Structure 1
Amino acid sequence: MTQAESPPSVADEVERFDIVAIASSAGGIRALSLVLGGLPFGFPVPVLVVQHLDPRHETVIADVLGRRSTLKVKLAEANEHAAPGTVYVAPPNRHLLVGPGGELTLSSSELVHFVRPSADLLFESVAGAYGARAIACVLTGSGSDGAMGVSAVKSRGGTVIAEDPESAEFSGMPEAAVSTGSVDFVLPLGEIADVIAALVESRSV
């Protein structure tokens, strides 16, 4: 396990984590399959996912990921409440955001860094709604989506994980996240699920 320069000291001061947000792009289906597949049955918090998808086609991502995880995986719907043990994937061409009570919002507002859904918008909403009770994770992908968002999560006391850019299939997104100085853990893909589960379990009540 490799830690970034800033230790996750703020995370030690909170009682629990209440949400996990994960972002990926190119190479993301494989990475998400491994991470979600490694989270235990009965995982006690909701997981929100932004994966950049082709907006011109219907997606089967929820079905694909659901076959590789013990957690329920579904496309997020507007105004539903994020439930523990469920993975909510942003639909193609819609931004996914979450409010303080766990209410999900879908938006067709303008592209952010040329993409919709945007990891930055998801992470910023998670930071505002959950503060130090949030975990944000950036996986493989090209571009820099998520970098501004992880800084927002960190600034509110949340914990940030990035896939190791050196071993990521596409290094752009995790490298941009790490370069912000806001990442607490820089990990090989195979270790991320165990660290997320351990963090959540260590703060469970």
Structure 2
Amino acid sequence: MTPSHEFNPQRDADAVVLGASAGGVQALQALLGSLPAGFAPALLVVLHLSPGRESRLAELLGAGCALPVAEALDKQPVRGGTVTLAPPDYHLLVEPDLTLALSVDEPVLFSRPAIDPLFESAAATYGPRLLALLLTGASNDGSAGLAAVRARGGQAWVQDPSSASVPTMPAAALAHAGADAVLTLDDMCRRLAACTK
């Protein structure tokens, strides 16, 4: 496998999956805001959201992102160069035919959308052509998903818990699954932004 310091998402990944919880809005604004307009992989995002409320997350994140940002629709094709968000109260899954599915299966670790279902389904679909980023949060969600990504040959970048707004989630993932890179948010932004140059 390519060492993590040589891994270039633009060249080596067809999709990037991102998971975040508490403190995640600010982290996602920074990450997505760092991406150049020519960023080619599809970006699929789960942020733990309260059920039963309309979300304005797409509008909020889209305001500072050079790529189109929208909530997922059931059965829509995965599209490169776009940011697709899990809507409130639905798990976001990647199907083998490269379409998206919205699931109302039971919450995972009290969350729907949850990170693990996205990471696990994307790992099964993309294998080594997947990059998973796990950010700040206050649960263990994402740990099993990161393990699945790494087991299928994908890359896992985890936010350095010491730099996270809430370190519980990245620390749990590191203990359970390890990572190919442990990075501050600034370093993640730099790596993603530099990959088109």
Structure 1: gaps of 5 or more residues: 1-6
Residues 185, 112 of structure 1: alpha-carbon distance in 2 compared, 3 angstrom cutoff: same
Which structure has more RCO (C-alpha within 8 Å, separation ≥ 6)?
1
Structure 2 SS opposite 1:65: helix
2:191: which partner in 1? Answer: 195
Q: Percent identity?
A: 42
- Choose the corresponding residue for 1:126, options 107, 116, 122: 122
1:169: which partner in 2? Answer: 165
1:3: which partner in 2? Answer: none
Indicate the RMSD between aligned Cα atoms, in angstroms. Answer: 1.8
Deviations 1:13-63 (A, max 9, x none): xx7310000000111110000000011112101100000011121000000
Structure 2: gaps of 5 or more residues: none
Query: What is the distance in 2 between the residues matched to 1:52 and 1:27?
Result: 10
Structure 2 SS opposite 1:49: strand
- Choose the corresponding residue for 1:114, options 94, 107, 110: 110
2:90: which partner in 1? Answer: 94
Query: What is the distance in 2 between the residues matched to 1:159 and 1:65?
Result: 24
Query: What is the distance in 1 between the residues matched to 2:15 and 2:76?
Result: 15
2:21: which partner in 1? Answer: 25
Query: What is the distance in 2 between the residues matched to 1:38 and 1:102?
Result: 26
Query: What is the distance in 2 between the residues matched to 1:54 and 1:94?
Result: 11
**Structure 2 residue 60 is matched with structure 1 residue 64:** yes
Query: What is the distance in 1 between the residues matched to 2:177 and 2:115?
Result: 17
TM-score by structure 2 length? 0.92
1:77: which partner in 2? Answer: 73
Structure 1 SS opposite 2:39: coil
Query: What is the distance in 2 between the residues matched to 1:10 and 1:156?
Result: 18
Is 1:137–1:162's contact at 8 Å kept on the other side of the alignment? yes
Matched ranges for 1:133-152 at <5 A: 133-152=129-148
Deviation, 1:98, is 0.5
The total of aligned residue pairs comes to 193
Is 1:39–1:194's contact at 8 Å kept on the other side of the alignment? no
* Aligned residue identity for 2:48: H
Structure 2 SS opposite 1:81: coil
* Aligned residue identity for 1:19: A
Query: What is the distance in 2 between the residues matched to 1:39 and 1:111?
Result: 31
Is 2:137–2:167's contact at 8 Å kept on the other side of the alignment? yes
Structure 2 SS opposite 1:74: strand
TM-score by structure 1 length? 0.89
Query: What is the distance in 1 between the residues matched to 2:149 and 2:194?
Result: 19
Is 2:91–2:102's contact at 8 Å kept on the other side of the alignment? yes
Deviation, 1:102, is 2.0
Residues 109, 181 of structure 1: alpha-carbon distance in 2 compared, 3 angstrom cutoff: closer
